[in-house]
Amino acid sequence: MTSGPILRIEGLSKTFRTNNGGALEALAEASFDVSENDFVCIVGPSGCGKSTLLRMIAGLESISSGRIGYRENPVLRPQKEIGMVFQEYSLLPWRTVLDNVALGPEFGGAPRAEREAKAMEYLRLVGMANFSGAFPHELSGGMRQRVAIVRALANDPDVLLMDEPFGALDAHTRILLQKELLRVWENYRKTILFVTHGVDEAIYLADRILVMSARPGRILEIFDVDTERPRDRAHPAYGQLAERILSILEREAAFSATGTNG
Amino acid sequence: MEFRTVLVRIGAYLLVPVLFLVLWGVIDRQLNNEVILPGVGQVAALFLQPTESLIAMGSLATNVAISLVRVLAGYLLAVCLAIPLGILMGYYGTAHRLLNGFLALFRPIPPLAWVPLVLAWFGVASLASMFGVEEGTAYLYLNNLKLSMVFIIFIGAFYPVLTSAIHGVMGVRSTLLDSARVLGAGEWDIFRKILLPAASPSIVNGMRIGLGVAWMCLVSAEMLPGSISGVGYLITHAYTLARTDIVIAGMISIGIVGAVLDLFFRLIEDRKFVWTRLTR
């Protein structure tokens, strides 16, 4: 086992071509490392390219320039070692919860009994075993995201990318799922890269927080969060860190408002 | 449901057809000309003995069955070709660009307009002559499936199914595709386990419309030379003998069979695709 970073992002840029022939720079020269078992959160103003960054690491988006290394190998296409959880409803609506969670092993060619046993194991982990026969439309938003998370985990990924997975949930459910995610992460110790626009969420969850600039997104600052988990939202250090990150984001928002991209 | 409401509902369904029959009866009495408008009873009598041989062409039931087999042959061919092609065209932009312009040229041509060309190509060749079957019961069945008829019905059913498959696939939410890819789905998995089920409500709807169109092409297909059976032919032949009652009975059978097939598809849609209505 090498002690090098599990993910190495070097000078990563992304330029989209717009419909009228222009070019839109979404991400500019992002560089950072993620070490194994780390919980890293990425925060930034909306439209700063943080989702694009995650999609590139997942292999869903082409790279304009720079390099993404997963255990020293370049990432060029989706691979099962790098899983992803999406913000919107990503479960297959015609499949039951169980069949959704079993999807990864199914693509991997696992026999039915084996993949269903595995799916049940993960559903139990988040208290969803009783809903294995339900269809996604019968579940609440929070339950759907629980299923989406264990669906990604049941595929045994090395790295789990999460793109604002709790963004569409109400505040109470969001806090509940944050706690559950930490519990699962402490059991399974995956490396997690978590994109959010909630500074509070980032501080509650992360070992490290990357703060991104307004578009084109660059990594502005990296904060290490050393406090013990579970973190106390009422602790002074918690508030101070939130204050610092928010002030950076505020400056960025002001900058982008006066900047060229309006 | 309460007994009275059931009665009221059934009554509502039957009201207009019954009024129509009454109107028919009244006009029939005024005209008193059975060639222009045969009586209700005269037509009903044909339905009461569906297995009785008519104008030396076999029974009404036999002719409906022959037509149904013809429609299904052309229809199945269209479905088997249009679904994979539609999924490919909906998914791969290149396939769409390559084929759509070409296929769009043929779409507006009414199936009936193909008749002269189809006759020049296939003449009276049937599946029997194609497979070299010359005797026995297989010959009787296969000889009824003229290539030209199957082709006309095929053309009619092909486009609704193709269009619905293309649109069904194009409407698949990209998150579903992305999440499948991230979970390790190969291209074949994407086709079979994501695109096909996600597009199936749209495809089944297209199949329902396609079957309706195929059924409507039947009469024109059965008017082609070489045809000696089928409801379409029964209607045209009865016309030449001034048997308007058989014409009307044939038309009603076409209507009933078409409506039953349509109902069958609606039932599938209601049962299988509950998720389309309940998914936001």
Which chain A residues are Cβ-neighbours of B185 within 8 angstroms?
Answer: 107
Which chain A residues are Cβ-neighbours of B276 within 8 angstroms?
Answer: 93
Choose among B178, B180, B197: nearest Cβ to A94.
Answer: B197
Computed over every residue of chain B, the mean pLDDT equals 85
Which range, B1-10, B36-45, B156-165, is most confident?
Answer: B156-165
Confidence of residue B185 (pLDDT cuts 50, 70, 90): very high
Computed over every residue of chain A, the mean pLDDT equals 90
Tokens of A112: 């039915």
Which chain B residues are Cβ-neighbours of A82 within 8 angstroms?
Answer: 182
Q: For the packed helices B60-91 and B244-272, what is the interaxial angle rounded to 10 degrees?
A: 40
pLDDT at B183 over 90: yes
Q: For the packed helices B244-272 and B40-48, what is the interaxial angle rounded to 10 degrees?
A: 60
Tokens of B37: 């408008």
CATH of A1-81+160-173+182-262, one of 1.10.357.10, 1.10.540.10, 3.40.50.12780, 3.40.50.300: 3.40.50.300
Which chain B residues are Cβ-neighbours of A55 within 8 angstroms?
Answer: 178
Question: Token match 């088997």: residue?
Answer: B80
> Residue B234: exposed, middle, or buried by beta-carbon count in 10 A (0-12, 13-18, 19+)?
buried
Contact B179 A90 (CB under 8 A): yes
Residue-wise pLDDT for B21-31, tens only, equals 889 888 888 88
- Topology of the domain covering B55-278: MetI-like fold (1.10.3720)
Confidence of residue B189 (pLDDT cuts 50, 70, 90): very high
The A208-212 sheet, strands edge to edge: A82-85, A159-163, A191-196, A39-43, A208-212, A219-224
Residue-wise pLDDT for A197-229, tens only, equals 899 999 999 999 999 988 888 899 999 998 888
Output the pLDDT for position B1: 65
Which chain A residues are Cβ-neighbours of B183 within 8 angstroms?
Answer: 80, 83, 103-104, 107, 151-152, 155
Give residue ranges of B with CB < 8 Å to any A CB.
173, 175-176, 178-186, 189, 193-194, 197-198, 200, 275-276, 278-280
The residue extents of the domains of chain B are: 55-278
Decide: helix, strand or coil at residue B65: helix
Output the pLDDT for position A1: 47
**Shortest Cα distance from A94 to chain B (angstroms)?**
6
Contact A107 B198 (CB under 8 A): no
Mutation pick from A79, A91, A92 vs chain B, by most beta carbons of B within 10 Å, is: A92
Please tell me the distance from the alpha carbon of residue B233 to that of residue B221, in angstroms, as a whole number: 9
Confidence of residue B148 (pLDDT cuts 50, 70, 90): confident
Lowest mean pLDDT among A40-44, A100-104, A149-153, A254-258: A254-258
Output the pLDDT for position B92: 92
Output the pLDDT for position B215: 87
Quick one: which of A203, A195, A184, A153 has its CA closest to A56?
A195
Confidence of residue B63 (pLDDT cuts 50, 70, 90): confident
pLDDT at A261 over 60: no
The set of long-range contacts for B193-196, using a CB threshold of 8 Å and a minimum separation of 24, is B193/A103, B193/A106, B194/A92, B195/B87, B195/B90, B195/B91, B195/B169, B196/B87
Q: Which is higher by pLDDT, B139 or A98?
A: A98
Confidence of residue A259 (pLDDT cuts 50, 70, 90): low
Percentage of residues of chain B with pLDDT beyond 90: 27
Output the pLDDT for position A3: 62
Give the residue range(s) of CATH 3.40.50.300 domains in chain A. Answer: 1-81+160-173+182-262
Choose among A78, A137, A138: nearest Cβ to B182.
Answer: A78
